[in-house]
Amino acid sequence: MTGKAAPSFIGTGSPDLDLVPDELRNILEQALLRVAPDARVLAIIPDKTRDDNTDVLFPFAAEILATRNIAQFDALVAQGTHMPMTEAEKFSKIGWSADKSAPGLGQVYDHQWNVPEELVTIASSRTNGWVARRCDSREPQSAAQPRHLRYGFDL
C-alpha cells in the first residue's frame, strides 16, 4: 500500500446523472490510490453481452497504474456461460485499437468456466459454513475460481 490514504467514499451519482469521462477518470484515480508499486493487478471485466463503460475505464486504469509503476496488469473476461469473445472483441471491450492501446497491459485471459482443469476449488459446502449457508441445494456445492487467480495477484 502507499502512504497516501484513499478516500472512504469516492465520486457522486444519481439516477439522473451521467458522468463524463473526466469525472470517471477522477473517481478511478482515487479508487486506485491504494495500489502499491510492484503490485500485480488483475482487472475482471464483463463480456460483450454487457453494455457498460469498460472501453472508457480500462484505458484510464492502465494509464493510472502505469504511473504507479505496478509490476503487472492483466485482465480476465468474466464471460460466464456466454460464447467466448474474439481477440478483436476483447480489445474493443477494453478500448484498445490500432491507434489506442493500454499501457502496461499483459494478458487478457478468458474465464474458461467449462474446462474443469482451469478451475480451482476454493470452498465447499461440505467444509465451509459460509458456502453452505448460501447454497439453495441440498447437494454439496463448491465455489471455484479461475486458475489465473492462483498466481498471486494483489488486486
| pLDDT tens digits, 3-57 | 566 556 777 778 888 889 999 999 999 999 989 999 989 898 988 888 889 999 9
Strands (E), 35-88: 40-46, 72-78
Residue type at 123 in one-letter notation: A
Helices (H), 84-128: 87-93
Closest CA to 68 of 42, 33, 43, 103: 33
Closest CA to 150 of 91, 93, 105, 109: 109
Residue type at 106 in one-letter notation: G
Please tell me the pTM assigned to this model. 0.70
Q: With pLDDT > 70 as the criterion, what percentage of the chain qualifies? A: 66
* Average pLDDT value for the chain: 76
Asked whether the predicted pLDDT for residue 80 surpasses 60, the reply is: yes
Average pLDDT over residues 58-71: 92
Dihedral through CA 10, CA 2, CA 152, CA 63, nearest 10?
Answer: 60
Given this model, what pLDDT does residue 132 score?
A: 46
C-alpha cell at position 46: 464483463
Given this model, what pLDDT does residue 125 score?
A: 45
Strands (E), 3-154: 40-46, 72-78, 105-110, 119-124, 142-146
